Amino acid sequence: MKKEFYLSTAVHKLDELIKLEGYKPKSKFGGECTSLVVEQQLRECEAPGAIKNDRINELLKKLGQTVNSKSLGLPSKNCNSLFYIKCREVVANHHITPPAGWKLKEKIWNYQLGFLASLVKDIIKEEKAPPKEDLSHLGWIGTENKRGNFFVKLIEYIEAYGIHKVVDKTGNRGIFFSFSGIDKIAKSDCFLMKATPSRHQINKYDGGKETYFNRVIIEENRGNKITQRIEENVSREHTTNYIDESSKIG
């Protein structure tokens, strides 16, 4: 039977259950999923009014920030997915009168608790996560849509997606997919590339600035300095220890 519950009370119950037993999605746990267990609790112990305390106020504040974030405040998810757009529509209404934005609803329907549970789960997960690295010192590389030469270092290659992650000499970050000019580059290689910074963007996982490059041409690969030094030392040692025993032949 359809029934409305106070949003703050539902958030309170979800917070308690998720921290106690962990989050249980319906797709895996069926009737024992988090949202249905909380629905049963709300039906059995219906509060005459909205429950409020410091913890609930904190969660509601974070929930409000989440639904008003362009990325829905969920860096670990595909924030533009229809699911998370639906989550926002379930818990908030959009207002155009100042201050414009999404404002949390007072009540939520029982069949919408699954969406709310997912949002609360991610807020709790974010709270438990270690502090994020301060990346405020990072800047962009180059000027958007202005082609140029850039000297960078490859710090990571994600083969599954074909993503090359690079940094310049001051640590500013960039990414690109395909490239031409040479056949391959390896992790820690330093190289000069001609490229177009097509987009300055914010990394959705850590909030740091990064530059997306396209039309990348590797002009000169100077390699990995550490590897070069090791090879030079090995070569020098081999030369020093070499003994010409050709006179002993025959």
pLDDT at 50: 81
Q: What is the pLDDT of residues 90-117, one digit of tens each?
A: 999 998 888 889 999 999 999 999 999 9
Give kind and range of the element (H or E) at residue 167.
strand 163-167
Lowest mean pLDDT among 37-51, 98-112, 160-174, 195-209: 37-51
Q: Is the model's pTM score more than 0.95?
A: no
Contact 71, 78 (CB under 8 A): no
Q: Is the peptide bond between 99 and the residue preceding it cis, with omega within 30 degrees of 0?
A: yes
Helix residue ranges, H only, 73-224: 82-91, 113-128
Residue 171 confidence (pLDDT): 94
Q: Helices marked H in 103-243 — which ranges?
A: 113-128, 225-240
- Contact between 164 and 185 under an 8 Å Cβ cutoff? The reply is yes
DSSP category for residue 99 = S
Q: Mean pLDDT across the chain, nearest whole number?
A: 87
What pLDDT score was predicted for residue 238?
A: 57
- What pLDDT is stored for residue 69 in this prediction? 79
- The answer on pLDDT for 63 being more than 50 is yes
Closest-CA residue to 85 (of 55, 109, 107, 118):
118
pLDDT of amino acid 42:
93
Domains of the chain: 4-128 (no CATH), 148-228 (2.40.50.110)
Contact assessment for residue 173 and residue 138, using Cβ atoms and an 8 Å cutoff: yes
Q: Nearest 5°: phi and psi at 80? A: -95, 5
Residue 34 pLDDT greater than 70, yes or no: yes
Alpha-carbon distance of 177 to 216, in angstroms, equals: 8
SS3 (DSSP) at 93: strand
How much is the pLDDT for 130? 84
CB 84 within 8 A of CB 74: yes
Q: Which own/partner pairs from 94-101 qualify as long-range (CB within 8 Å, at least 24 positions apart)?
A: 101/68
